[in-house]
Amino acid sequence: MKKLICALLALCVLAGLAACDPGGTPDVTAEALTKANGEKALLAAHENWSNVYRAEFGQNDNCVVTKDCTFVEFPQDRFSILKIGGEEWYYLDIYAGGKPVFYHWYAMTDEEREQIAFDESGFRNLLDPKTTPKETVTEIRDNRDGTLTVTTEATPDAWLGDGERSLFPDDVWDCDHVKCVYFVDKRTLELRSSRAYFVKGDRQTLIGDIGVSYDTPLPDKMTEMLEAVETFKNADPKDRFLLTVVYNAGTPQEERFSTTLVKKQPMTLQQRAGYALYRDPEGTKPFTGKFGEGDVVLYAFPKEAT
């Protein structure tokens, strides 16, 4: 009897250890996944991260995020964007070998700019903090190599952001649910890769997949853009000039916006929608894109007014 009792006690102890085993499969939630793959957590652990998104519908992109900036390359459209300190820089592939890096300036208020400028927020989190918590975890598999495969489900309306439905054909949108498969680090829950599907019965339609890397060398285009930014910021004062855009000159609605630029640094200018730029305050000499020497003043008038 003593031996039987001891054996039972031993089994109970072992069962208790197994239940507390830190190597066991953790109970992962969608909220925990979201937090582990948010900007704050990732930048506390890494100098940078990069991800490659391959889309079955819409546009592919390659993204690199650091503490100070966001770099996104759109291979299909042959251009890249660097968002740094609220400013936008573009790399246009068609100018490779020449001067492919352009500074982009919005001649308008900050509020207007925010409505149309490149929104980096969607790239600075690996998982969308608005939609991922709405997913329901349906399976957690321990891969026995330090990683987990976490599968979730969500309704299409809950999973997609505002305005994204138009990206997908109606036949794939008509589905039972969206299925996401996350391949994550078992200890940190940091994303390694993921796939998403529209599911209708036995049919699965791939939406896209993401591969993630951490603390990798910056891509050449991003390095070239950062060097251009550094040169721009440290330019000799004699190489700088002031660009001013005047809206509705000579009227009670007149507004002025100015920025300091650097000679020979390519740039693109975006005025308000519905306005055309001119060299003269009368609106008779259209601006052709060349600044000339010294400070520059351009005049913007509603297109129908000229």
Q: Provide the token pair at 111.
A: 């509020």
pLDDT at 306: 52
Q: Indicate the pTM of the whole model.
A: 0.85
Are the C-beta atoms of residues 278 and 296 closer than 8 Å to each other?
no
Domain 30-101+117-214: which CATH number of 1.10.20, 2.50.20, 3.30.70, 2.60.40: 2.50.20
Instruction: Check residues 93 and 306 and name the one with the higher pLDDT.
Output: 93
Gyration radius from the chain CA atoms: 27
Look at residue 119 and give its three-state secondary structure: coil
Q: Environment class of residue 9 by beta-carbon count within 10 Å: exposed (0-12), middle (13-18) or buried (19+)?
A: exposed
Determine the Cα–Cα distance for residues 8 and 4; give it in Å rounded to an integer: 6
Instruction: Check residues 289 and 104 and name the one with the higher pLDDT.
Output: 104
Determine the Cα–Cα distance for residues 179 and 74; give it in Å rounded to an integer: 26
Q: Provide the token pair at 148.
A: 């987990």
Q: For residues 47-74, give the mean pLDDT.
A: 93
Q: Provide the token pair at 146.
A: 């330090």
pLDDT at 23: 55
pLDDT at 291: 87
Are the C-beta atoms of residues 216 and 62 closer than 8 Å to each other?
no
Q: Would you tell me how many other CB atoms lie within 10 Å of the CB of residue 89?
A: 22
